[in-house]
Structure 1
Amino acid sequence: MKNSKYTFLLASALLLASCGDQNEATEVEDQNASTEVTDVADSTNEQVEEESDTESEDEEVVEEEPEEEAVTFEYEVNSGIYTIQPIEGSEADSQVALLTYDDAPDKYALDIAKTLVEHDAHAIFFVNGMYLENDEGKEMLKEIHDMGFEIGNHTQTHASLPSISEEKQYEEIVTTSDMVEEITGERPRFFRAPFGQNTEYSADLAREQGMALMNWTYGYDWESDYMNADALSDIMVNTNLLVPGANLLMHDREWTLEATPSIIEGLREKDYEIVDPALIKSVENESEDVE
């Protein structure tokens, strides 16, 4: 009996030990399984994040700025008589006239520009930097430029260039180009000296600055006999100086503003096209070929 009791106790102890080992093994297996699930989940999350990043990169569209269309220049300035003539090899019409307005933007340049737009006519506004020293002048020039008009350089203070030093000539020309660029984002392509008085230095400097010299073929609006719209429009259209490529000089004046519609209509009645200055090459464009 006593031996049987010991045998029973021994068997019970072995059974409990066996259960404990099985529980520990089960716990280890459960822990390992949990670890594997966590690892798989982490791996899956990382893969999803990587795929998401890849998709974001694929979806990210890089917007490229549109390239500016190259201008085909059809005309050039005749450096001897300052008419506007077709470039050799161009099939452009020679029966053209160029409208230009000096001393802008003083009082009437913006209204002149609006009048030109109404009549679908192009022009160059030659500006003096002294009119760009205040906000009103800057705003007017910006608006004129934004309408699509070419802006030319007419010096800072309208000084007679032969009467001042080369240093002063440099200031007169370059300062104005700098101001125009600051306001419009573009430097002038054409230079007109006050009174048409260039010096050897100013001519060379203008070319170095990428500008073609541009005087004129005729103009009248500073003469007392033509300080009214009727007389001015009549002479501008009916003068014998009107020839193919004529380069018309006008100014920022009230009577010139009033005469502008009649001048445009009169030129067109004589079969003259108002040339677009954007088609006229400047010094910086001389390497451009006509297509």
Structure 2
Amino acid sequence: MKTILLGVSLMSALILSGCQTADTAAESSATSSNTSESQSSSTEESSTSEESSEAQSSIESMEEPADTQEAFRYHINPTTSVVEPIDEAVDPKVALLTFDDSPDQHAVEIAEQLKAINAPAIFFVNGMYIESDEGKAKLKQIYDMGFEIGNHTQTHPNLSTISPEKQREEILQTNQLIYEVTGEKPHFFRAPHGVTTETSDAVMAEEGMVSMNWTYGYDWEADYQTSESLSDIMLNTEYLNNGANLLMHDRSWTNEAVVSIAEGLIEKGFTLVDPNLIESPEREE
């Protein structure tokens, strides 16, 4: 009887072992098949990626980097407002497009034209333009298109002519209005007339913002209030150098010239830098 039971046990073990071997072989076959498919897919994706890379224009992506802190490539020189590479491996031949006094009359159309050619920019907002529902809607349109929103104070005063308390109010009120519309605090500040103060510097530190002026701009001068004259000077000025920080405004002639300016910069070999790639204290946090 024991002999019979032993034989049955041995037979069961052999059958079970055979099943496990078959299962293992099937799994191995499936794994090999998946690996082959994965390698084939990887090859196709690599080929597609190379083709896509070759077709790219020299415009930085407007999408938010997955890891913003590690993705920073540039910073704003606090003295010159030049956009500078963080390290030597980063391309220095970039230009930053900025538009002040937004969103008054033409900012949305300017944003739409830039979006159509995937050109990033900062729109520096005056709080007085976003107190109304119409102004809020315009700001939301610009923000939803992926553009950076900066603070240009509430009523555009020369900060050096008003009290420290009023200076704070001018900056913080606009920050709050922008936050209510976009859900995001501004990372960049531009003082009206380029005049900063000890108070504005202190507010920048408290709010984790970067203060910047510009390297050149012309659209408020009488000689450059046509699209042709403005495009020409913006592209051919002696101040167009690596890291140029271009100042423009919410004006009709600027609106008409914006695409030719952006495309002209690209033709000259400049990359239009994405503000998401410019470091700021708040983003680091």
TM-score by length of 1: 0.74
Taking the TM superposition and a 5 Å limit, the aligned residue runs for 1:149-228 are: 149-228=147-226
Tell me which amino acid in the other structure corresponds to 2:252.
E
Q: Which runs of 5+ in 1 are unaligned?
A: 1-67
Distance 1:269 1:206 in 2: 36
Distance 2:205 2:127 in 1: 19
**Aligned-pair Cα RMSD in Å:** 1.2
Identity of aligned residues (%): 57
Instruction: Identify the residue that residue 252 of structure 1 maps to in structure 2.
Output: 250
Q: How far 1:251 sits from its partner (Å)?
A: 0.1
SS, match of residue 101 in structure 2: strand
Distance 1:75 1:286 in 2: 13
Instruction: Identify the residue that residue 238 of structure 1 maps to in structure 2.
Output: 236
Q: How far 1:101 sits from its partner (Å)?
A: 0.1
Instruction: Identify the residue that residue 76 of structure 2 maps to in structure 1.
Output: 77
Where in structure 1 do 4 or more consecutive aligned residues deviate above 4 Å?
none
Distance 1:178 1:228 in 2: 35
Distance 2:148 2:267 in 1: 25
Tell me which amino acid in the other structure corresponds to 1:70.
D
Alpha-carbon displacement from aligned partner over 1:124-149 (angstroms, at most 9, x marks no partner): 00000000110110001001001000
Instruction: Identify the residue that residue 229 of structure 1 maps to in structure 2.
Output: 227
Q: Does 1:138 align with 2:131?
A: no
Q: Which has the larger radius of gyration?
A: 1
Instruction: Identify the residue that residue 57 of structure 2 maps to in structure 1.
Output: none
Distance 1:265 1:125 in 2: 19
Q: Does 1:125 align with 2:123?
A: yes
Distance 1:194 1:250 in 2: 13
Tell me which amino acid in the other structure corresponds to 2:108.
L
Contact preservation (8 Å) 1:82, 1:247: yes
Q: How far 1:284 sits from its partner (Å)?
A: 2.4
Alpha-carbon displacement from aligned partner over 1:35-58 (angstroms, at most 9, x marks no partner): xxxxxxxxxxxxxxxxxxxxxxxx
Distance 1:263 1:173 in 2: 30
Distance 2:119 2:225 in 1: 22
Q: How far 1:118 sits from its partner (Å)?
A: 1.1
Instruction: Identify the residue that residue 268 of structure 1 maps to in structure 2.
Output: 266
Contact preservation (8 Å) 1:102, 1:126: yes
Aligned length: 219
Distance 1:183 1:157 in 2: 18
Tell me which amino acid in the other structure corresponds to 2:266.
R
Taking the TM superposition and a 5 Å limit, the aligned residue runs for 1:29-68 are: none
Alpha-carbon displacement from aligned partner over 1:236-285 (angstroms, at most 9, x marks no partner): 00001000000000000000000001101111111001000010011324
Distance 1:241 1:280 in 2: 21
Tell me which amino acid in the other structure corresponds to 1:159.
P
Q: How far 1:93 sits from its partner (Å)?
A: 1.1
Distance 2:229 2:284 in 1: 39
SS, match of residue 247 in structure 2: strand
Q: How far 1:208 sits from its partner (Å)?
A: 1.2
SS, match of residue 154 in structure 2: coil
Tell me which amino acid in the other structure corresponds to 2:130.
L
SS, match of residue 172 in structure 1: helix
Distance 2:144 2:98 in 1: 17
Instruction: Identify the residue that residue 38 of structure 1 maps to in structure 2.
Output: none
Contact preservation (8 Å) 1:101, 1:250: yes
SS, match of residue 142 in structure 1: helix
